[in-house]
Amino acid sequence: MFKNNAQSLFRITTRGKFNLVMKSITDRHQLILQKLKDEGQVNIQELSDLMEVSGVTIRKDLKLLEDKNLLFRTRGGGSITNPYTIERPINEKEFIKADEKQKIAKAALEIIGQNDSIIIGSGTTVYQLARCLYPSKHLTVITPAVKVSVELCNRPNIEVLQLGGLIRQNSSSVAGSYAEKILESISCGILFLGIDGIDLDFGFSITNLTETSLNQKMIDSAQVIVVLADSSKFGRRGLGRVCSLEQVQYIITDNGVQPTIVEQLEDRGIKIIIAK
């Protein structure tokens, strides 16, 4: 993976393993950037062990590389892409990765199974689920999203429970105590959740704090949590943390997600479904 360098060498440890000994800051930076290119992210502890330098040294290296706009620092490491996401209007987000979102939505249909009630959250990916939802038997759909309600209100075999409250313009979704109070007396089979960021340390997050508590209430009301997210959401963080990785049973995404991230999420007990 790494090219030979006159200032770098391998050393055999007492356990018979090879460690990479870095003799200059240039060597360390080259290795960090190469790992970023190969894996998309780096971890401070792994780099410290690999190069046999302190975590403080690695943090200084990451700071210098960030100052040169070569990476973004994250909690415990660095990333090749900006890990922090910003809020965008729903009409703008609808056209981002539109094909992938449609495939994700169709894959989500198979999870509904025999459930007679589901929650569909807010967001453009879960909205695509509503667009392709034509159940053969009665199904109750609970949602905070006005666009989902409008899409489904005249659909055969579907009964819609629209949560109440103030409608946020950016998301066309309600938020606040009225909606949350309704959810306190509801228990349903599956929540299909839209999010803005998936981070191995921070968990699942969205860009708006106002809707964070509503999403948490929806999670409490459902027996199974299914996150619908295209591959651009991985390795990113929104402002408000919705839940931890351990609270989610499924993630449905597209084939753009890195295999190493899929493996790490599966190790945490989440079933990853790649929509095709």
CATH number at residue 137: 3.40.50.1360
Domain assignment of residue 31, yes or no: yes
Domain assignment of residue 234, yes or no: yes
Which residues neighbour 105 within 8 Å (Cβ) at sequence distance 6 or greater?
125, 126, 128, 129, 131, 132, 228
User: DSSP string spanning the chain?
Assistant: -----TTEEEEE-TTS-EEEEE-SHHHHHHHHHHHHHHHSEEEHHHHHHHHT--HHHHHHHHHHHHHTTS-EEETTEEESS--B-----HHHHTTTTHHHHHHHHHHHHHHHTT-SEEEE-SSHHHHHHHHT---SS-EEEEESBHHHHHHHTT-TTEEEEEPPSEEETTTTEEESHHHHHHHTT--EEEEEEE-SEEETTTEEEES-HHHHHHHHHHHHHEEEEEEE--GGGBT-B-SEEEE-GGG-SEEEE-TTS-HHHHHHHHHTTPEEEE--
pLDDT bucket at 22, cuts 50 / 70 / 90: low
Residues 96 and 220 in one domain: yes
pLDDT higher than threshold 60 for residue 19: no
pLDDT higher than threshold 50 for residue 16: no
Angle, alpha carbons 24-30-33 (nearest 5°): 140
pLDDT higher than threshold 70 for residue 23: no
Domain tally, the chain: 2
Domain assignment of residue 155, yes or no: yes
Residues 75 and 112 in one domain: no
Residues 247 and 128 in one domain: yes
Domain assignment of residue 1, yes or no: no
Residues 113 and 241 in one domain: yes
Residues 141 and 46 in one domain: no
How far, in Å, CA of 21 to CA of 266, rounded? 33
pLDDT higher than threshold 80 for residue 11: no
pLDDT tens per residue across span 224-244: 999 999 998 998 888 899 999
Residues 17 and 125 in one domain: no
How far, in Å, CA of 167 to CA of 146, rounded? 8
Residue 205 carries which side chain, given as an amino acid letter? S
The domain boundary, picked from 36, 56, 79, lies at 79
Highest mean pLDDT among 16-20, 156-160, 165-169, 231-235: 156-160
CATH number at residue 70: 1.10.10.10
Residues 179 and 268 in one domain: yes
Residues 75 and 37 in one domain: yes
Residues 42 and 178 in one domain: no
Residues 39 and 105 in one domain: no
pLDDT bucket at 94, cuts 50 / 70 / 90: low
Range of the domain at 246: 90-274
The domain boundary, picked from 79, 103, 134, lies at 79
pLDDT tens per residue across span 199-231: 998 999 998 888 999 999 999 999 999 999 999
Residues 101 and 227 in one domain: yes
Residue 93 carries which side chain, given as an amino acid letter? K
pLDDT higher than threshold 70 for residue 90: no
Domain assignment of residue 109, yes or no: yes
The domain boundary, picked from 56, 79, 102, lies at 79
Q: What is the pTM of this model?
A: 0.71
Retrieve residue 33's tokens.
């950037």
